[in-house]
Amino acid sequence: MTFVFKSGARYRMPVVFGPAPGPRQHPEGRMWTREEAGTMSAEWMKVAYRTDAAKLGALLPPGFSLRGDPIVSVSCAWFKNLYWLAGRGYGILAVDFPVTYQGKTERHDGAFCPVLWEGQPEAITTGREELGFSKLYADFTEIVRDKERGSAACQASWFGHTFFEIELNEMVEEVAPDRKLPGSGGGAQLYYKYMPSTSPGGCDGADLAYVTTAAPLPGTAVRAQNINFDEFEFRKWNAKGSLRWTRATFEQMPLSFHVVNGMSDLPILEFVDAEMVAFSGPGIGISMNGMRAIEPA
C-alpha cells in the first residue's frame, strides 16, 4: 500500500510522513485552538524612505505598477512565544512599497513585498510554500531598547556579514494608537509566488508564478481569515529613524548577495517616516490563514 493524501489537510515536502505541522496546522492535522495558541508578543520597528522611481519599478513582477510616491517601508521585528514553535521566536526583516496590481479579473491597490528575511528556517519553509512569500534566512540581534534615550536598534546578518542596520531615536508614545502593523499602509498586501520547473538546465520556466494576497475577492463582503488585532494589547511610538543596507560579495552571501545589493542600489533620498509598535495577544491572531492566489492576466 502506498502513501495516501488525506483530504482537507495541509502538506509540505516530505509529504509521505503525513500532514505538516505549522502555524496553520496542529500536529494532529487540524487547526490550532485559541487555547493551544496561548499568548504571543512582538516588537516591530519601521523606517520609510523616498527612493528613485525608475529603480524601484525595476523590482516589479508582471502586472504591477508603482502607485503614488516611490516610498520604501522597511520593518525589523521580533516575534516571541509562538505556539507553533513550542514557545520559541525569531526576527523578521520585511520590505514593501505601494503598488497597483492588475490580474485577469482583479485589480488591487496595495503594497508589494519583494523580499523578507526571517531568523527561523521553519518560518521560511512554511511561508514560502503555503503563503507564497519570498522569504530568505538571516541572523538577527534582539531589538535593543533604551527607554531613557528613547531609542531602539536592530541588525540582520548572514554568517557574520551584517547587511542591514536600523535605528530609531526620539521615540514618543501615542496615547490612543491605531491597531495595525507598520508598513506602506492601505490596501492589499501582495506577494509574488514563483516555483521553478524542474528540468535539465533549469531553464524551462516556472511550475507556477502568480500573486498571492489575503484581500477578499472583489464583490465579497467577508474578509478571509487574516491577522486580527482586535483583542491585542497595542502600543505605538512615533520616532525619527534611519537605516543602512551594506552591499555583499558572493563570498559573504553566496546565494543572496544579489538581493541585498538590489536593495542597497535603491538610493535613500529622504527618510520620511519612522515608528515602532509593541503588541501581545492570542497567538492564533497572527496566523495568516486566508492567503489565496490571484489569476494572472
Kindly report the number of other CB atoms within 10 A of residue 204's CB atom: 11
Per-residue confidence (pLDDT) for residue 228, from 0 to 100: 66
> Residues 240-292: pLDDT tens digits?
999 999 999 999 999 999 999 999 999 999 999 999 999 999 998 888 888 99
pLDDT at 212: 97
pLDDT of residue 185: 65
Residues in contact with 42: Cβ distance below 8 Å, sequence separation at least 6, in sequence order: 77, 78, 79, 80, 278, 279, 280, 286
Q: How far apart are CA 186 and CA 100, in angstroms?
A: 12
Asked whether the bond before 19 is cis by omega within 30 degrees of 0, the reply is: no
Mean pLDDT of 200-214: 92
Given a cut of 60, whether residue 198 has pLDDT beyond it is: yes
Q: What is the pLDDT of residues 22-35, one digit of tens each?
A: 999 999 999 999 99
Which ranges of the chain would DSSP assign to H, the alpha helix? 34-37, 53-57, 121-126, 257-264
